[in-house]
Amino acid sequence: MPELVGIDTGGTFTDFILYKNGSFVTYKIPSTPHAPERAILAGLKHLNVALDQTHFVHGTTVATNALLEGKGARTAFITNLGLKDLLHIGRQTRSQLYSLCPQQARQLVEHTLCLELEGRIQADGTELTPILDQQLPALKKKLQAEEVEAVAICMLFSFLNDTHELAIEQALQEDMFVSRSSQILPEQREYERAIVTWLNSYLGPVTQRYLSNLQSSLTSTMHVMQSDATTQPAASAGKQAVRLLLSGPAGGVVAATQIAKDSGHSKLLTLDMGGTSTDVSLIDEQPRYTSNAQVAEFPLAITMLDIHTIGAGGGSIARLDEAGVLHVGPESAGAQPGPACYGLGGSQATITDANVVLGRLPVSRKWSSGLKLDLAAARAALKIIADEMNCTQEEAALGIIQLANAHMVQALRVISIHRGYNPADFSLFPFGGAGGLHMCAIAKELGIKTILVPVNAGLLSAQGMLMAPVGQMMSKSVCQLWSALGNNYLSDIFEQLQHDAKQQLADVNITSNRDSQWLDLRYRGQSSVISLQWSEEDIPSRFQEAHQQRYGFSLADNIIELVTVRVWAYQDIPELTSMPARRGRPARPVEFASVADIESPVPVYLRDELVSSQVLTGPCIVLDDSGTLYVEGDWQAVVTEHGHIHLQLTAGYP
């Protein structure tokens, strides 16, 4: 097996994990947001990786950042006559329904670049009006005059008949980046299909340039993590940039799913707290998917992992508003200048600074990147907040931590209670550089009594990228009552979609060896769907059970409607085996730290020195090169045979 490297570029840090000779080598370095490849190449140089002989899997924030910052390509939208305002009208929903002074939404879609063509496909897929030959040269000339870099094509009912979209694409694709809805999202609901296609074109040139430049620097094969927990070769991933918007967080969910199976934990709530944001998800035997996600103000009808993201990371900035109310995030200090305690010029108090002031993040040790924390700088930043609040620096720091925890608790409720699950039935699975500092307080607030902290928790998303299969998804809209489907109806659709997905992989020299089938179902008249993995079990009964859990009611079987069929084709990768935990005499504390609100000094352990079955009783601190664990009182931690740390609440609940 060649050497494998997983690379996760975050807003604050870039994480590396090298798999070599059956073991993992890790490294973390501050990101370089304006040129992400600089941090990547610097990290690979530190790891002494042969760029021409290593297989790379990359999770990137380039597409996400381009969307959030409004720095995508100049993009034209082409649709049917009478529909050029489709992207601006949307679904007529109001995000601030009761606000007397609503904030005006960003207008990334330019009205002047929304163009119409004659030609119409009917609802049964037949052609009503053809596209006139003279329209396409005139369209191309106009786009060139407007200096358009990318084009999004979305014609009515193209998911049934895409001949018009193909004709437009063939006329334009030589000169610009082109996305057509029949390729990006060949499903019903014209607005959702249109906005996803437009986003793909808006983000495509930026993402494609970045991946192409990085690939040329690495010279060997590079795959890119997608939002649906599969990877794609860099060349094809750049063409579907909209599928990379959760590129990094998806890797962590992949790793969590595998570790949960190996550790006997079938139900997990994941908490990925990095430097800029926190991502949460739910795993019940397997991760949950959604086709109703949203990034910024844009709906994303593509199928992706059900991950909820909030602006609460280690670098999230604390501030007081004009009324003197404390806020934490979503603004972040990022990699530059970073939290004040990094000593890189930051002066605003962040969550990391609060943990330093409280003593939960010891300043006595250097991290793997050579970073050494500055307690005096953290105190200076907290003093500004404390003076405004008329309290001590420790009290201000504790308020920041409690508020950040409240935000994360609410996010976990969104993906559990709001989905019909009781958080108390799950184990908390914290990772990311800062997840271990907040895990105990969050678990107790949710009624969770067990926590599982994985090996390499601070770089788990990068590790998960090495565990993800190469994959391709194909879908088909159906919209028929389940009771009306013929005996061979589904098998025929599965066969066609499997063929198409395998062919897509074959086009990039990948052979599929596994597939899975999913169904989107709803009651007739509903707009939301529930996704179920296909099996020979009674589908209507499974749907009724899932609907009851999600919404609290169920209806008659004869109005269940099959909306969409999805098929994934995969090429599995070899399973990665890791070294078992060390054995021998239990590790001793390397120092004792003073922690606010705790009278006696708290023991500090190095995670690399812990041995299998070693028991740690809170309060204590466990240091790792990529993160820190703060084990509160009333919790007991045990090191598993695989090196993970299992925490059990020993008291604290009635």
The values of phi and psi at residue 221, to 5°, are -65, 140
The answer to which of 145-154, 256-265, 626-635 has the lowest mean pLDDT is 256-265
Tell me the per-residue pLDDT of 400-454, one tens digit each, with 9 for 90 and over.
Answer: 999 999 999 999 999 999 988 999 999 999 999 899 999 999 999 999 999 999 9
Q: Is the pLDDT of residue 653 over 60?
A: no
Residue 497, SS3 per DSSP: helix
* Token duo for residue 27: 């490294």
CB 138 within 8 A of CB 145: no
Q: Is the pLDDT of residue 617 over 90?
A: yes
d(CA 517, CA 567): 5
Q: Average pLDDT of 592-612?
A: 92
Q: Which amino acid is at 624?
A: D
Bridge partners (DSSP) of residue 501 are: none
H or E element at residue 197: helix 190-218
Q: Is the pLDDT of residue 1 over 70?
A: no
CB atoms within 10 A of CB 324: 9
Q: Tell me which of 108 and 577 has the higher pLDDT.
A: 108
Mean of the per-residue pLDDT values of the chain: 91
Q: Is the pLDDT of residue 227 over 90?
A: yes
State residue 146's pLDDT score.
92
Q: Is the pLDDT of residue 22 over 90?
A: no
- pTM of the full predicted structure? 0.91
d(CA 36, CA 65): 11
Q: Average pLDDT of 538-544?
A: 93
- Strands 222-225 and 55-59, how do they pair? parallel
pLDDT > 90: what percent of the chain? 68
State residue 599's pLDDT score.
87
Q: Average pLDDT of 36-60?
A: 92
Q: Which residues of 566-601 are buried (b: 16+ CB within 10 A; e: fewer)?
A: bbbbbbebeebeeeebeeeeebebeeebebeeeeee
d(CA 379, CA 113): 51
Tell me the per-residue pLDDT of 106-163, one tens digit each, with 9 for 90 and over.
Answer: 778 889 999 999 999 999 999 999 988 789 999 999 999 999 999 999 999 999 999 9
Q: Is the pLDDT of residue 505 over 80?
A: yes
Q: Please, which pLDDT band fits residue 297 given cuts at 50, 70 and 90?
A: confident
Instruction: Supply angle C-alpha 361, 367, 373, rounded to 5.
Output: 50
Cis check for the bond before 619: say yes or no (omega within 30 of 0): yes
CB atoms within 10 A of CB 157: 21
Q: Please, which pLDDT band fits residue 369 given cuts at 50, 70 and 90?
A: low
State residue 211's pLDDT score.
94
CB 247 within 8 A of CB 59: yes
State residue 394's pLDDT score.
95
CB atoms within 10 A of CB 144: 12
Q: Is the pLDDT of residue 647 over 60?
A: yes
State residue 652's pLDDT score.
61
State residue 623's pLDDT score.
93
State residue 58's pLDDT score.
95
Strands (DSSP E) found in 237-292: 267-273, 278-284, 286-287, 289-290
How far, in Å, are 6, 20, 47 from residue 3 at the CA level? 10, 5, 12
